[in-house]
Chain A
Amino acid sequence: MSEPSASAHTCSELRDALLSGEEPDWARVHLETCAGCRELCEPPLRDALTQAALRDIAPPRLDAIQADLDRALEAERGLRRLKSLATPTRIAIALGAIAGLVVLNLLRPRPDIATLGTLALAFPLVVASSLIFLGVRSALRGPHARVQSAVHTGALVGLSAGLPLVYFLSQSFLGEFSFIDSSPGFARRALGCFAYGAGWSLPLGLVLLLLDRNKLASPISALNAGTAGGLSGLIALHLHCPSQHPGHLLLGHLSVLLAMLVAWVVVRGRLRVGAW
């Protein structure tokens, strides 16, 4: 159906005329030029739609809804007010948490930072921060915004896991390391780094929970939040751990991202059933 060019009256005006029981002269002109409205005006569709729409005039009772709404608005205090900030502000706060994470980790940096080189230090940070921005932006989108597609989210998760994976595996080709490490303490060091990375994922996770408006409305939101949280853990590990051993990087570092993805899906499930 299209707004007719030959008639000054719109489809909406025709609808209103039909609902009021009129059929003015201009309606015929409109129907001649508008195939969509012509389709609507053929029986039995016209009768059914008109009668059903007229029946809708019954006024609903809003008292109970308003009472519940007043209670909900009354509860919007303290930290909950963060949810009401404008979306760009909420995104800026989340990115501020990442900046704080970088600064704090630079206060006690990895021991080889002086010899690492600016590019080797900064490049992973820039890439990870860019992906975090995309994840945070999607996770914190307003309820009025179009839902991000599953393809878009899949690409973000794939890039976030794939880029570190390629980087870590390349260490075994470019470096002098073999993937298998049987040295004593390998598992302990990997576990230590996993705990460190997971721990540094928590601040961003907490910030995202405080800023989220709708209990992570969709699994896509949870995956975006998990990606951003996991990448923040990887940033902390990049600034903390000098190891370039691919086995350690995969088991102690990349595992943080995977664990965060799983954790956020679980968190979302708990939020949705009202467990928290």
Chain B
Amino acid sequence: MRSEEELMAAYVAGDRSAFDELFQRLAPILLRVLARQLPNREEANDLVQQTFLQLHRSRHDFRAGARLRPWLFTIAINLKREHFRRMKRRPEAPLELDGRSDPAAVKGDQNRADAQHTLGWAMQRIPSDQAEVITLHWFEGLPFPEVAEVVGASLSAVKVRAHRGYQALRTLLESDPAD
């Protein structure tokens, strides 16, 4: 199986099917990242589409030897920030990637739904730059150097954001969201 970077190189060389394969591989991941911070499915879908449109337009800017995933995440994060700036708000509640939002989604058990709901509530109450780092680090499994590359901050700054974000999350989770 070709790596994402090999697929990108093939697309830059004119192989359209490589773009389709990249979309199938990376769109679900991008959708998860964006959906955690957006209030509805339409906005998340729209930003995923815009991200891939920008990947198409920027394909000749992709440097050989660079890793594709952090590069693509940077585009998505920049588009998301611009989206928030345009809307002049942060979302009031994140999109839930569960059966209520998407009937075709695989249904998890009630504990997971509750955990996601509670975590979504807590993630909305911590600073957006901390939530961004936690989403990329924990939920997408990016190592900190790549998270730093994606959000455009230094490695130490990202670690501090994560530390503060996780601390804030724990404090919030120890309180009762219903209060």
Contacts and interface: CB of A to CB of B under 8 A. Distances in A.
B118 interface: yes
Interface string A141-164: 011101100000000000000000
A66 B27 CA distance: 9
A180 to B, nearest CB: 44
Contacts of B122: 48
A170 interface: no
Nearest to B158: A1
B82 A218 contact: yes
B174 to A, nearest CB: 6
B170 A142 contact: no
A68 B49 contact: yes
A186 B32 CA distance: 63
B116 A60 contact: no
B112 A54 contact: yes
B143 A11 contact: yes
B85 interface: yes
A213 B119 CA distance: 35
Contacts of B46: 68
Contact of A144 (B75, B139, B159): B75
A219 to B, nearest CB: 8
A51 B167 contact: no
Contacts of B139: 52-53, 56
B31 interface: yes
A146 B148 CA distance: 12
Given A49-B119, A68-B49, A213-B54, A15 B141 contact: yes
Interface stretch (A36-44, A196-204, A238-246): A36-44
A52 B116 contact: yes
B116 A44 contact: no
Interface string B13-48: 000000000011001100110000000000001101
A2 B167 CA distance: 16
Contacts of B118: 48
B86 interface: yes
A144 B141 CA distance: 20
A44 B173 contact: yes
A16 interface: yes
Interface string B91-116: 00000011000101111100111111
A94 to B, nearest CB: 16
A9 interface: no
Interface string B118-156: 111010000000000000001101111000000010000
A44 B172 CA distance: 10
Interface residues of B, number: 62
A174 to B, nearest CB: 45
B162 A1 contact: yes
B108 A73 contact: no
B78 A59 contact: no
Contacts of A72: 49, 53
Interface stretch (A79-87, A100-108, A119-127, A258-266): A79-87
B106 A47 contact: no
B141 A65 contact: no
Contacts of A40: 138, 166
A265 to B, nearest CB: 14
B106 A59 contact: yes
A3 B60 contact: no
B106 to A, nearest CB: 4
A84 to B, nearest CB: 5
Given A45-B166, A214-B54, 17 more contacts: A10-B143, A12-B143, A45-B169, A48-B119, A52-B139, A53-B138, A57-B108, A60-B31, A60-B32, A60-B105, A61-B102, A64-B45, A85-B60, A143-B58, A143-B74, A144-B74, A213-B54
19 contacts: A15-B138, A39-B167, A48-B118, A48-B119, A48-B122, A52-B119, A53-B139, A54-B108, A54-B112, A55-B97, A58-B108, A60-B102, A64-B45, A68-B46, A76-B57, A87-B58, A143-B79, A144-B78, A218-B82
Q: Name the 9 nearest CB pairs between A and B, nearest first.
A: A51-B115, A58-B105, A86-B60, A55-B112, A146-B152, A52-B116, A52-B119, A58-B106, A55-B108
